[in-house]
Chain A
Amino acid sequence: NAGVTQTPKFQVLKTGQSMTLQCAQDMNHEYMSWYRQDPGMGLRLIHYSVGAGITDQGEVPNGYNVSRSTTEDFPLRLLSAAPSQTSVYFCASSPQGRHSPLHFGNGTRLTVT
């Protein structure tokens, strides 16, 4: 059981570079989401998707893009990295939306210099 798989585990970017954080789940969950975790801030929702072809913004969407072409995959794109995007990023999925328990991936630790 792979669950939710995130790659890479660690990444260092220079300001202005772009990259994509990958997220895949094999549980056939309709709902997928991206969170960032910063010290003292808890988990904040970046973007989410309730199914293939449908995405929406969360609390802190600026600087990030997402797409959901398949049920399994939900990549997060940083278009032009900024030091303020240094954080730990978690992808999470659930079978029925935000009201049901979330399954988290192992996270990606991103540093932007």
Chain B
Amino acid sequence: GQQVMQIPQYQHVQEGEDFTTYCNSSTTLSNIQWYKQRPGGHPVFLIQLVKSGEVKKQKRLTFQFGEAKKNSSLHITATQTTDVGTYFCAGFRSGGTASKLTFGTGTRLQVTL
């Protein structure tokens, strides 16, 4: 079945350092979504990537979708304490009734001063 792996599972950075999380799918995806979950909170949608090689930016966050549409990354420049949380990717594979959205296991980011 479809698998979506995320690495690393956990990262601890000092404020101001950069952070990257990687998402790899066992199958080609139609799109990939990224979510952020603050401690004790619920997942909140950040962005969706659809095109091969697509790059999107949201302030300090840069999202990339691989050329083969099987991997993606989220890069945060100059982390802040407000970036603390778990970042999930979710890969969507279309296929009529076999369509499936699979969440990665998440990367927990801890930022300290």
Partner-B contacts on A (CB < 8 A): 35, 40-45, 90, 92, 97-107
| CB-based contact A107/B99 at 8 Å | no
Which of B12-20, B74-82, B100-108 lies at the binding interface?
B100-108
Majority secondary structure, B binding face: strand
Q: Number of contacting residues on B, CB 8 A?
A: 22
Chain A hits for B30, CB < 8 A:
99
Chain B's closest residue to A106 (CB) is B42
Partner-A contacts on B (CB < 8 A): 9, 30-31, 33, 35, 41-45, 48, 88, 90, 92, 94, 99-101, 103-106
| CB-based contact B99/A104 at 8 Å | no
A101-B42 contact, Cβ under 8 Å, with A42-B88, A42-B104, A42-B105: no
Chain B hits for A41, CB < 8 A:
105
Counting residue pairs across A and B whose Cβ atoms lie within 8 Å, the total is: 46
Majority secondary structure, A binding face: loop
For the complex, what is the distance from the CA of A9 to the CA of B48, rounded to whole Å? Answer: 29
